[in-house]
Amino acid sequence: MVELYILLIFMIVGAIIAIEVKDLLSSVVAVGAVGLALSIVFLVLKAPDVAITQLVVELLCLIILIRATLKRDLPFSTSGRWFLNTMITIGFIIVLLLVAAKSFTDLPPFGFPIMRVASHYLNNGLSQTGASNIVSAVILDYRAYDTLGEATVLFTAVIGVLAIVRRIGRKKVGEKVKEEDE
Amino acid sequence: MSREKTKGMSIIVKTITRLTVGLVLLYGIYIVLHGHVSPGGGFAGGVIITLSFVHLVLAYGKDTALKKLSKARASFLENMGAILFLSIALLGFMGGYFFSNFIPKGEPFHLFSAGIIPISNIAISLKVGAGLFSIFVALVLLKLKPTSEKKK
């Protein structure tokens, strides 16, 4: 339990560094450290499936961010209304904390979840689906409809990114674009 | 701005990449195929397969990697993954309902078990891997070109 708190404090410090530091590359590295600590948190909480997914997605995002920010001088947006922005942020945080303190008292304590639906999956998952990895059994058999929706979301995201970024939509009139530049 | 235009990184990185990129690809395929008996699954395995191609792009430049997996083939693979997943779901009507597990379950803790779950894992890994590789190529490599022309 102690290592969990150490990792959480490390993640909070990393997030603050990522916001406050001026250099973009250092900020990206700090975000990567936060993601790696989150994957270790998932391992400590005994969820290796989520830990593997978090680790590899973090690596891919880190590579994309580093390649996108390494040689660019992106302008640092500093507006003059910092006082109003800070006040609005603090107000939202106070409202959120009040609502959370009200609602989190009804939750069961950490490590003792309510097992209404999950106990059925844990007891009958192996015999009903034949998959010994219970996470696979849930996301691809019991809750496969959710996975279909998630796959649709990813498909739409890929289509959207390719439609915005591709070269052929931004060419001028009469300009010819080669096949590989699309 | 000239590193990806020429021939990738130095000879040390290229040699190490030649040794390790096959292992990374093999590990991704292992994660996908054993998704129903050990931690992992289609999404994580697909991203690891993508990372092996990203590894090639970073070390050798984009021409070598796009020769192995061109953009047209990547989009074809992504569409095939989506169609395969949806057709598995529709074939479930043979067993009675949408996403019914109509293939015999087999023995637990074996590679060929759990009915439709390994096939769904393969479909999702195709979709995720090819889709993220397309996003990577589009975002990182092709968008750098207009800014480099502007700076000259």
Q: Where are the domains of chain A?
A: 1-72, 118-172+178-182
Check residues A168 and B68 and name the one with the higher pLDDT: B68
**Contact A160/B at CB under 8 A:** no
**Contact A132/B at CB under 8 A:** yes
Do residue A52 and residue B121 have CB atoms under 8 angstroms apart?
A: no
ipTM over 0.85: no
Give the confidence band of B149 by pLDDT, cuts at 50, 70, 90: very low
Give the confidence band of A177 by pLDDT, cuts at 50, 70, 90: low
Count Cα neighbours of B22 within 13 Å in the Cβ-side half-sphere: 3
Q: Does the pLDDT at position A13 exceed 90?
A: yes
Do residue A165 and residue B143 have CB atoms under 8 angstroms apart?
A: yes
**Contact B39/A at CB under 8 A:** yes
Q: What is the pLDDT of residues B94-126, one digit of tens each?
A: 777 777 777 777 777 777 777 788 888 888 899
What length does chain A have? 182
Question: Are the beta carbons of B54 and B30 closer than 8 angstroms?
Answer: no
Our CA-based measurement puts residue B147 at a distance from the nearest CA of chain A, in whole angstroms, of: 9
Q: How far apart are the first and last CA of chain B?
A: 11
Give the confidence band of A34 by pLDDT, cuts at 50, 70, 90: very high
Q: What angle do CA A130, A134, A139 make, to 5 degrees?
A: 95
At A72 the pLDDT is 59
The mean pLDDT value for B1-8 works out to 53
Q: Does the pLDDT at position B1 exceed 50?
A: no
Q: What is the mean pLDDT of chain A?
A: 82
Which of A63, A141, A154 has its CB closest to that of B54?
A63
**Contact B40/A at CB under 8 A:** yes
The mean pLDDT value for A140-165 works out to 85
**Contact B145/A at CB under 8 A:** yes
